[in-house]
Structure 1
Amino acid sequence: MSGDAEVRAWRPGVPGVVEVLHAHFPTHAYPSHTHDAWTVLIVDEGAVRYDLDRHEHGLAQAQVSLLPPQVPHDGRSVRPEGFRKRVLYLAPDRLDARLIGAAVDQPEYVDPLLRHRIHQLHGVLRDGREDLEAQSRLLFIEERLQQHLTRQVGAAGAAGPPAEEGGAGRRRDAGVAGRRWDGGIAGQLRELLDERVAEGISLEEAGRIIHAHPVHLVRAFSREYGMPPHRYLTGRRVDLARRYLLDGRPAGEVAALAGFYDQSHLNRHFKKVLGVTPTRFAAS
């Protein structure tokens, strides 16, 4: 079997769907990164193992995985023949941000109806002719995902008080979601990076704004998010490059727009995350 990845990606004209991705990765393993969208993932061939917020998970063909925005994850095949997956990237406001912690604690669901609905939506989006049907199917998918997340929060609450109050378990429904508005050093640095994805910011300037030593910034950020600031920013730039490519902009122009030094710099990091070059991604 060829070791080349096969990727097809596009941005449908359906409100709430940021991107659709169909991919076959015979050998590719992608590094830890984040998205600013909810990632709804199903596997059609093989099985996937991934770390989410530094906890290992697995995804088989019977399951649905929901990865929350802004939480680091990676991915690799369980089997030597690789895996085939389909992904919906949903805008962050399509699901309640207060439930991000529930998705971190339990990102996989064995739900045949939900999986079938996602499969149907992919079919409609692939054809690209029935926007109203796609919108309807998306609403039912989001409703069911919201129900899963809400039940998880309720079950965790019934099990006892949160961990910080002496209860057992990994109650992160408030903590992880709160990272978006965290007033701490790591959260403040992430907000600066998110505001300046393309232009970037030096650690010295960030330190002056936050009133913290640059070394402390790096340590706090790495401890909170499981990756150093430069890797987080690179991942955000790759995400931004994907959006520009799907808008039809040429790769050479995208490199500058997304904050990379040149097209070679973009190619290297893009292929590390997506398994294909920006040109092949755009051609898909």
Structure 2
Amino acid sequence: MASESSRIVSAWRPAVPGVVEVFHARFTEYAYPMHVHDAWTLLIVDTGAVRYDLDRHEHGTPHDTVSLLPPHVPHNGSPVTPEGFRKRVLYLDGTHLGGDFIGAAVDRPDLRDPLLRRRVGQLHGTLGLPGEELEAESRLLFVGERLREHLRGGGPASQRPADPVLAGRLRELLDERIVEGVVLREAAGLLGAHPAHLVRTFSAAYGIAPHQYLTSLRVGRARRLLLEGRSPGDTAVAAGFYDQSHLTRHFRKLVGVPPGRYRAG
């Protein structure tokens, strides 16, 4: 039997619509028995590989594969080698993938797609950062679109043309909500547009994603507050950042120095 020391896990539920749970794990000896989930399971393996049975067929997850396991379908899982595996998992509700895709996912659960693999990895990186919900929501939308393309068995879905007027309306909304921010689905409801189309048309119009634009505005506000003598901690809250470390991460990236050094200079 595997010892508890052979299992290292972390799990949390981010404030991102559609994500039921984020689960990161490192297992060396542990094997999952047959079980089901009530959510979609989106799995990538960073080291090692996993062997599993789904619908009485054996499958595997080499490092360049994205595995998508549908809800309510029994599966198990075990390491392929004695060294075990390290995996990152997203459990998603039906917001991005409906029940119509369950049959296709049972038939083709393992997807060889480097772009999808990279996007899922980037999404995990964003989900681990408090205050980056707008970016995470945008990345999740495009992951969902890519998954649906695979499950349909066709090429990329047709995209609506860019809409400069819509992009301008989103820009005005972001300008009005620098501090409080806005989640993507709320913005889509207010502006009467699909969230993915909203991100695409804004990026096409301004050459920057909505979350990058909002972060730039917040850093600009933080610069002014710091020069007025506000402390980095007070500035972070007043400029719309989650906390001081959130401010520091983006401030250093856009300005080149941390807030305290900028203020002292």
TM-score, with length taken from structure 1: 0.52
Task: Quote the residue 2:49 is aligned against.
Answer: 47
Task: Quote the residue 2:64 is aligned against.
Answer: 62
Deviation at 1:14, TM superposition (A): 0.1
Secondary structure of the residue aligned to 1:92 is coil
Note if contact 2:9-2:26 (Cα within 8 Å) is conserved in structure 1. Answer: yes
Secondary structure of the residue aligned to 1:36 is coil
> 1: CA distance between counterparts of 2:104 and 2:74?
15
Alignment of 1:1-284 (within 5 A): 3-151=5-153
Ranges in structure 2 where 5+ consecutive residues have no aligned partner: 155-265
% of aligned pairs identical? 63
Deviation at 1:7, TM superposition (A): 0.4
Deviation at 1:63, TM superposition (A): 0.4
> 1: CA distance between counterparts of 2:105 and 2:58?
14
> 2: CA distance between counterparts of 1:129 and 1:64?
26
Deviation at 1:4, TM superposition (A): 2.1
> 1: CA distance between counterparts of 2:7 and 2:93?
26
Alignment coverage as a number of residue pairs: 152
Deviation at 1:2, TM superposition (A): 8.5
Note if contact 2:96-2:141 (Cα within 8 Å) is conserved in structure 1. Answer: no
Note if contact 1:69-1:92 (Cα within 8 Å) is conserved in structure 2. Answer: no
Say what the alpha-carbon RMSD is for the aligned residues: 1.5
> 2: CA distance between counterparts of 1:82 and 1:140?
30
Note if contact 1:96-1:146 (Cα within 8 Å) is conserved in structure 2. Answer: no
Amino acid at match of 1:56: E
Ranges in structure 1 where 5+ consecutive residues have no aligned partner: 153-284
Task: Quote the residue 1:175 is aligned against.
Answer: none
Note if contact 1:53-1:104 (Cα within 8 Å) is conserved in structure 2. Answer: yes
Note if contact 1:20-1:88 (Cα within 8 Å) is conserved in structure 2. Answer: yes
What per-residue deviation string (whole Å, max 9, x for no partner) do you get for residues 24-51 of structure 1? Answer: 0011001110001000000001011000
Amino acid at match of 2:30: H
Deviation at 1:92, TM superposition (A): 2.6
Amino acid at match of 2:114: P
TM-score, with length taken from structure 2: 0.56
Note if contact 1:114-1:141 (Cα within 8 Å) is conserved in structure 2. Answer: yes
Deviation at 1:129, TM superposition (A): 2.0
> 2: CA distance between counterparts of 1:68 and 1:115?
18
Q: In 2 relative to 1, CA 101–83 (structure 1 residues): closer, same or farther, beyond 3 Å?
A: same
> 1: CA distance between counterparts of 2:55 and 2:138?
32
What per-residue deviation string (whole Å, max 9, x for no partner) do you get for residues 59-114 of structure 1? Answer: 11010000000000000000101000000000034212111011001100110100
Q: Which has the bigger relative contact order, CA under 8 A and spacing at least 6?
A: 1
For the pair shown, which has the larger CA radius of gyration, 1 or 2? Answer: 2
